[in-house]
Structure formats: structure tokens, C-alpha cells
Structure 1
Amino acid sequence: MKHYFFALLTVMFSMGIVLGQSNCSHYYPLVDGANFEYTSYDKKGKEEGKINYKVTNVNGSGDNVTATMVMQLEDQKGNTYDSEYNVTCDGDKVKIDFKSLMNEQMLNQLGEMEVEVSGTDIELPSNLGVGQELPDGNVTVQMKMGGAMNMNMNVETINRKVEKIETVTTPAGTFKNCLVIYSETRTKMIMANQTMPSRVWIAEGIGMVKQESYNKSGKLMASSVLTAYSL
């Protein structure tokens, strides 16, 4: 089950924030009870599974709002893996609380281990424009597996910037004037280091509508699109 924990952690960093609507942010808004369904595909376009988000526990108003994102990942076999994390919007930026990533659902994926987590919150400005550079984010997870054996995992989002504006059509509809955000997700674990460039298309009032991940040569390796939502 440990590999599902790692998958969930990487998904949170690579896909960005997915939220409903409020007055706090144009592109990353919040509304209690909003639902978003994404379908994931492999490099050949074959469906791999679905990710569902639900916005809950919205508190505050105006330019100061907090909420909990409940996420469920379903694979092709129908197995589901749940997690949740906290999101804050303070008027000029939206951020994910990295400490909340290590919640009960996540820890259950790891079994009997001592776990320590450190890092920086993922921040996204409320107002975005083409050419804008965005702050990096990272989470480091240290796991004590018993005896002298330890395992560390570090996930970073780096080189983040707003590239351009495009129109995107998905099964959920056509979304005009989407901002395209480029970033690189760098994962380090044991002897393995991997960096995957990605792009996220975000629509005003909706959030993410499309995401693509590439290999180091720029070839498409995986994608996700918004297939259904309700606000």
C-alpha cells in the first residue's frame, strides 16, 4: 500500500489546487460542497482511473477563507484511496498547508512507521498573468521503518510560470481564456530521482480543467481532464 501513499502525495503537488467558487480568488475560488471529477489517461490515451475532489468545511468570507479538500483516487480495478488536505486563501494568494498532507488517511497507507514531514506551503497568487513566475513548493517525508532502516521522499514543484492563454474543451464543457501554468515536479526517493515537466490549464471560476505530464524529452506521458463538476 505504500506506493499509493507516494502516488497521492505526488498527485497533490503536480495537479495543483482544485476548488469551487467564492470571492477570495478568481482562479482558485472556494464553495462548500463543490465537486470535481477528473479522468486520468496514460501516454497512449488509455483511461487509468478517476480522481474526485470535494470542497468541505469552508470557513470565513471575503478575502480570508479556509477549506478542506477531500480527494478520492479510483484505479481501473475500482480500488479507492482517500486523502484530504487544508487550503487557505488570504486575498492575494491561495496555499496548501503541507503539514495537513500527513493526515490520518495518508498515514494509514504507511502502516506501523514513525513519520516526520517538513517543507513549504504551495502558494498560488490570486491574480495571475502571462509571464508571471510562481513560487516553488516542497514536501519532505522521513519514514523510520524499524531498526536502522529509514526511507526519505522529497517532492518539489519548481520552475513554475504562467506561459500563455488557451481555450480548452473537455467532456465537462468548453473553457475560454484558460491560463497555462508550466512547472516541474522533482521526486527523490532512495536511489531514484525523477523530474517530470507538466502543464496545467486553469479556468476562471472553475480551477484546473486539464493537466499533462511529460518526460525529460517533452513527450506526453500522462494526462487528466475535467469530466464533470458541480458548484
Structure 2
Amino acid sequence: MRNLFIVLIISLLYIPKVVSQINCSRYYPLEEGTSFEYTSTNKKGKIESTANYMVSKVSNSANTTVAEMTINLSDKKGKEIIQSSYNITCTGSGVKIDFQSLMAGDMIKQYHEMDIDVALTGTDIELPNELSIGQELTNANVTMNISMAGMNMKTIVNMINRKVEKKENITTISGSYECFVIYSENESQVMGIKRTYPSRLWLTEGIGMVKQESYKSNGDLISTTTLTKFNK
């Protein structure tokens, strides 16, 4: 379960944190009902999980848009693992994700049913509308404190060294895209044990994430997440 927490948090840092109004974000479209399917495979190309995202609600006030995204995560056999939702805020300059909202709804309910208390804190992850090769992006982090049966466990995930590496054309099962490639390092600390996992994100205008790869510290591939369906 501990490994699932880490994978989920890292995934939420990458997979569409959509936007809303026209021109609110250059990279993430938002219309209620817009849906995305992402399939994750291991280093051998075997399916590990599938995540379905949908823009379920959009609200606007002044120059700010708040969007609710629902997520259904299933394992390689198609069995649902987690169903939850989270909110993001979008302004004319880009998007910001509130980490306080990443573990809401059914996920928190499951923890309470197991007599587990969860507290989540962190800093927003930002993605500006204007990207350029060589650009450095702000770091982000999330801390999750879990209390159960008198025991406490802290998980920290820091997203550091974020930068726009290059532009690249890629083709996936869902189509061909021109993408910015964003590199970052995901540093996880669980019960005092620290590990660093570099990653790359392929981001295209009008859709968002097309592909994401995670690596070991030595550069060996761990997993790949690819956009397999997109409906707007």
C-alpha cells in the first residue's frame, strides 16, 4: 500500500491538471465531459494500470477558474483500485494545483473506514502558458502523514530540477504530436529512506500530457504512461 501511495502522488503531479476558460491555459483543454485515458506499462511494455480522468465540473469567477477532475485508477486486470477527485486553479498565466485536494472524496473515505488518519500538505505545482527550451520551472512538494493504530508514517515527495529540455515529435496509439519535453527529479522519502526517480513529460498544446517516463537513478526505465484515449 505504501508503494501505491507514492505512485499515485507522482502520477497526480503529471497527469492532466486541466484548465478551463478558452485561453486560460495553452496546454490543457477544459470542457465539462472532456475525458482522458492513460495506460501505464512496465519496462518490458506490459500493462500495469489504467487511469481514466474526466472534467466533471468547471466554475469561473473574475480571472480565475476552478476545475474538478475525477479519476478512476484500475490495475492490470481492470479491477478498480481508487476512485477520487481533485481541484485545480487556472489563471490567464497558467495552472496551479492545490495539493490539499489530491486525496479527497472516496480515497479519504476508505482511509477513515480503515481507521487511518491522513493529512496532506504541500506547495503548488505550476505550469506557465509560455514555455521555451532551457526554461527552469519552479519546484514543488507534497507531504503525506498517515496515522493508524498508534503508528505514524510520513511520505514526502519533492519534484525538483524541473526544466524544459527540448521540443520533440512523438507518435502514440492516440496520434502524433509536437511536444515540449519537461525533465524533473522526483525525490521520495518514506520512513527516512530517500530515493530519487528522474522523469520526463511530453506535453502538447490543446491536450496536455501525451507521455511520461520514470527512471531509476542510473537512468534505466521503470515505467511509461501514455495517452491512449482523448475525447472532447
Calculate the TM-score normalised by the size of structure 2.
Answer: 0.91
- CA 18–209 in structure 1, closer or farther in 2 if over 3 Å, else same: farther
RMSD of equivalent CA atoms: 1.9
Residue 17 of structure 1: aligned partner:
16
Question: Structure 2 matches for 1:66-85, cutoff 5 A?
Answer: 66-80=66-80, 81-85=82-86
The secondary structure found in structure 1 opposite 2:158 is strand
SS in 2 for 1:39: strand
Q: Could you say which residue in structure 2 is the equivalent of 1:48?
A: 48
Q: What CA distance in whole angstroms lies between the structure 2 residues aligned with 1:193 and 1:23?
A: 40
In structure 2, C-alpha distance between the alignment counterparts of 1:183 and 1:36, rounded to whole Å: 23
Counterparts of 1:89-128 in structure 2 under 5 Å?
89-110=90-111, 111-128=114-131
Paired residue type of 1:103 = A
**Selected match of 1:160 from 150, 158, 162:** 162
Instruction: Tell me if the contact between 2:19 and 2:89 (Cα under 8 Å) persists in the aligned partners.
Output: no
1:171 alignment counterpart: 173
In structure 2, what is the equivalent of residue 135 of structure 1?
138
Query: Which residue of structure 2 lines up, in the alignment, with residue 225 of structure 1?
Result: 226
Number of residues of Structure 1 aligned to a counterpart in Structure 2:
228
**Displacement, 1:37?**
0.7
Alpha-carbon distance in structure 1 between the residues aligned to 2:218 and 2:2:
29
CA distance in 2, matches of 1:131, 1:105: 40
Contact 2:99–2:121 at 8 Å: present in 1 too? yes
| Distance apart, 1:143 and its partner CA | 1.8
For structure 2, list consecutive stretches of 5 or more residues without a partner in the other structure. Answer: none
AA in 2 matched with 1:76: K
- Percent identity, aligned pairs only, is 47
Unaligned runs of 5+ in 1: none
Other structure's SS at 1:106 match: helix
Q: 2:105 and 2:15 mapped to 1: Cα distance?
A: 21
Q: CA deviation at 1:20?
A: 6.6
User: What is the distance in 2 between the residues matched to 1:62 and 1:17?
Assistant: 23
* Shift in Å, 1:194: 1.6
- Residues 44 and 220 of structure 1: is their aligned pair in 2 closer, same or farther, counting only changes over 3 Å? same
CA distance in 1, matches of 2:136, 2:62: 26
CA contact (8 A) 1:23 1:62 kept: no
Secondary structure of the equivalent of 1:133? coil
Secondary structure, counterpart of 2:24 in structure 1: coil
